[in-house]
């Protein structure tokens, strides 16, 4: 027999009787770039391997359990510009070109830009001569397949978010920061930066490892606690994003000097104080102070951050304060947990997309229905959720709550006693 728990006990001990909400957040750019290695060709001579492998991975994740919501978070146009404005070398190692039209340039800067473009164009031409000639560039190939993926996922009730100037990592971080108390989240990514978000309610499926990293096994898979992911990158930098750290300090050296950082949470102040102590001990033992420790204390770097390295690196690495625009916040706020209208979404549309792109491994030999069967449970869950939201009494209650909150926010305190009672009831709904 189910035991009834009084509301005052629930409130006092921060308990909840609600069923947990199970959510998946796909880091789509990370997923797609890893899937791009599949070079299978359709009858038109076009690659579709990225589409195929992305869907295969999603099928695998959906098999794990019955998820309430599944989101795909994409890098938007000009993504990374917010970090570039803080740190001019951000992702320059990837040939990233930001739209800086809003920033006025001197004649000299314009000349340098044109010179760099000519050099890059020449190097790319030489590289292409060594590659197999295709009808489209790598970027065109990626964008074309991304559009196919986007269209397919729309029909499969995958909630998708893409916003100009915002990176997918930040969309994921914003969602995690604003999740519901009873929500459990699985992040799917090949990017270890997102492991900093791991806590009791959030874990990360590492694509390369094919394993789920949790709070309990983080040290086993990462080599250190997830609480020090940000700290390590602030000091050591991040080669993949072209973020320079303290001179002479790599990940290996960092953990040799501070082994306690593997298992215990630390911050920059702890590291600086520990560096001072270690060098004082060396001096006491008549040994020369370590240059690497002095560099930590004095903030010495080869990067353009200068003496502000710790502050700048923290801003561009730490996802506890995600860099999202107001437009991105609004889009996410409107989509989070909102019912998806099933009208217009249909397997017939999906079949036509697959057929139009001649994706033989999905459509040949009557494989279509079998291939997409793993999405059925999610589709049914979303349809039930939408149907429930259309309950007239429920919709009315939510509408009343909305307007009563607005009234309270504006300081209109002339609500009747009866209205206050209704409000109290509805807010506990």
Within-domain flag for 41: yes
Q: How confident is the model at residue 408 (pLDDT cuts 50, 70, 90)?
A: low
What CA–CA distances, in Å, run from 219 to 198, 216, 253, 256, 264? 12, 8, 18, 16, 10
* Cα–Cα distance, 339 to 388 (Å, whole number): 9
Q: Note whether 228 and 241 are within 8 A (CB).
A: no
Q: Residue 407: which H helix or E strand, with range?
A: helix 392-409
Q: How far apart are CA 240 and CA 254, in angstroms?
A: 18
- Tell me phi and psi for residue 263, to 5 degrees: -120, -20
Residue 125 has a pLDDT of 53
Separation CA 384–CA 225 (nearest Å): 39
Residue 24 lies in a domain: yes
Residues 6+ apart with CB under 8 A from 151: 353
Parent domain of 400: 396-427
Query: What's the mean pLDDT in 193-199?
Result: 97
- Is 9 in contact with 173 (CB distance < 8 Å)? no
70 and 35 inside one domain: yes
Which residue from 70, 65, 67 is spatially nearest to 54, judged by alpha carbons? 70
* pLDDT confidence bin for 410, thresholds 50/70/90: low
Mark which of 295, 317, 339 sits at the end of a domain: 317
Residue 301 lies inside a defined structural domain of this protein = yes
Whether the Cβ atoms of residue 300 and residue 275 lie closer than 8 Å to each other:
no
| Residue 334 and residue 417 in one domain | no
CATH classification of the domain holding 90: 3.40.50.1010
pLDDT at residue 403 greater than cutoff 70: no
Same domain? 88 vs 166: yes
Whether 168 and 291 share a structural domain: no
Question: Each residue of 52-80: pLDDT tens digit?
Answer: 999 999 999 999 999 999 999 999 999 98
Residues 310 and 378 in one domain: no
Confidence of residue 127 (pLDDT cuts 50, 70, 90): very low
Q: What average pLDDT does the chain have?
A: 85
Mean pLDDT of the region 112-116: 58
- 3-state SS of 108-142 is HHHHHHHHHHHHHHHHHHHHHHHCCCCCCCHHHHH
The Cα 221–Cα 211 span in angstroms is 9
Residues 184, 270, single domain; the answer is no
Q: Is residue 117 part of a domain?
A: no
pLDDT at residue number 360: 87
Strands 237-238 vs 243-244: parallel, antiparallel or unpaired: antiparallel
Query: Considering the domain boundaries, does residue 61 fall inside one?
Result: yes
Claim to verify: residue 144 and residue 290 sit in the same structural domain = no
Give phi and psi for 44, each to the nearest 5.
Answer: -90, 0
pLDDT bin (cut points 50, 70, 90) of residue 89 is confident
**CA dist., res. 143 & res. 2, Å (int):** 53
Using pLDDT thresholds of 50, 70 and 90, give the confidence band for residue 162: very high
Q: What is the mean pLDDT of residues 378-391?
A: 91
CB distance 195 to 209 below 8 Å: no
Residues facing 237 on adjacent strands: 244
Please list the residues that pair with 23 across neighbouring strands: 69, 185
- Confidence at residue 128, expressed as pLDDT on a 0 to 100 scale: 44
The CA-based angle 157-161-162, given to 5 degrees, is: 140
What is the reported pLDDT for 99?
76
Q: How many domains does the chain have?
A: 3
Q: Same domain for 32 and 92?
A: yes
Helix 49-62, helix 28-35: angle, nearest 10: 120
Structure confidence by residue, pLDDT tens digits, 247-279? 999 999 999 999 999 999 999 999 999 999 999
Task: Give the model's pLDDT for residue 157.
Answer: 97
pLDDT band with cut points at 50, 70 and 90 for residue 172: very high
More confident residue, 95 or 44: 44
CA 179 to chain centre: 14
pLDDT for the residue 332: 95
Residue 2 domain-assigned (yes or no): no
Angle at CA 319, nearest 5°, toward 318 and 322?
Answer: 120
Per-residue pLDDT band at 301 (split at 50, 70, 90): very high
Measured CA to CA, the distance from residue 68 to residue 183 in angstroms comes to: 10
Range with lowest mean pLDDT among 181-190, 285-294, 316-325, 359-368? 359-368
Q: What percent of the chain has pLDDT over 70?
A: 78
Give the confidence band of 17 by pLDDT, cuts at 50, 70, 90. Answer: low
Task: Say yes or no: 374 and 337 in one domain.
Answer: yes
Which of residues 262, 290, 317 is at a domain's end? 317
Residue 239 sits in the same domain as residue 333: no
Beta-carbon neighbour count of residue 402 at 10 Å?
Answer: 11
Q: Examine the domain organization and report whether 80 and 61 are in the same domain.
A: yes
Residue pLDDT, tens place only, 353-383: 999 999 988 887 678 989 999 999 999 999 9
Q: Kindly state whether residue 219 falls inside one of the protein's structural domains.
A: yes
8 Å CB contact between 71 and 168: no
Q: Does residue 50 sit within a domain? A: yes
Residues 311 and 326 occupy one common structural domain = no
CATH number (domain holding residue 241): 1.10.150
Alpha helices by DSSP H, 237-359: 251-257, 268-284, 291-298, 309-317, 326-335, 347-356
Side-chain-side CA neighbours of residue 309 (13 Å): 25
pTM of the prediction?
0.80
């Amino acid at each position: 027999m189910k035991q009834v728990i009084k509301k005052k006990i629930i409130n006092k001990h921060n308990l909840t009787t609600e069923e947990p909400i199970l959510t998946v957040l796909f880091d789509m750019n990370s997923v797609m770039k890893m899937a791009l290695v599949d070079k299978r060709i359709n009858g038109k001579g076009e690659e579709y391997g990225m589409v195929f492998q992305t869907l295969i991975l999603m099928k695998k994740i959906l098999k794990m359990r019955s998820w309430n919501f599944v989101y795909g978070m994409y890098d938007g146009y000009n993504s990374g510009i917010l970090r570039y404005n803080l740190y001019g070398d951000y992702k320059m190692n990837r040939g990233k070109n930001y739209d800086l039209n809003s920033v006025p340039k001197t004649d000299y800067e314009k000349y340098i830009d044109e010179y760099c473009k000519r050099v890059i164009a020449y190097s790319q031409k030489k590289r292409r001569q060594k590659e197999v000639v295709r009808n489209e560039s790598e970027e065109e190939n990626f964008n074309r397949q991304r559009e196919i993926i986007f269209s397919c996922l729309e029909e499969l009730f995958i909630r998708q978010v893409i916003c100009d100037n915002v990176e997918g990592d930040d969309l994921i971080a914003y969602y995690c920061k604003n999740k519901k108390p009873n929500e459990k989240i699985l992040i799917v990514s090949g990017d270890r930066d997102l492991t900093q978000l791991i806590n009791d309610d959030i874990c990360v499926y590492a694509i390369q490892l094919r394993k789920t990293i949790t709070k309990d096994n983080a040290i086993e898979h990462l080599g250190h606690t997830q609480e020090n992911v940000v700290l390590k990158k602030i000091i050591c930098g991040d080669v993949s994003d072209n973020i320079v750290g303290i001179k002479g300090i790599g990940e290996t050296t960092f953990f040799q000097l501070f082994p306690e950082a593997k298992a215990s949470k630390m911050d920059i102040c702890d590291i600086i104080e520990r560096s001072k102590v270690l060098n004082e001990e060396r001096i006491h033992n008549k040994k020369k102070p370590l240059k690497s420790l002095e560099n930590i204390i004095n903030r010495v770097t080869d990067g353009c951050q200068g003496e502000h390295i710790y502050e700048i690196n923290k801003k561009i690495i730490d996802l506890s304060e995600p860099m999202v625009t107001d437009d991105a916040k609004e889009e996410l706020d409107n989509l989070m947990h909102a019912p998806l209208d099933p009208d217009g979404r249909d397997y017939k549309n999906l079949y036509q997309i697959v057929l139009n792109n001649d994706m033989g491994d999905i459509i040949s030999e009557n494989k279509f229905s079998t291939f997409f069967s793993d999405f059925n449970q999610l589709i049914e869950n979303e349809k039930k959720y939408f149907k429930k939201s259309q309950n007239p009494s429920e919709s009315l209650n939510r509408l009343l709550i909305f307007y009563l909150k607005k009234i309270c926010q504006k300081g209109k305190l002339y609500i009747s006693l009866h209205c206050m009672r209704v409000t109290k009831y509805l807010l506990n709904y």
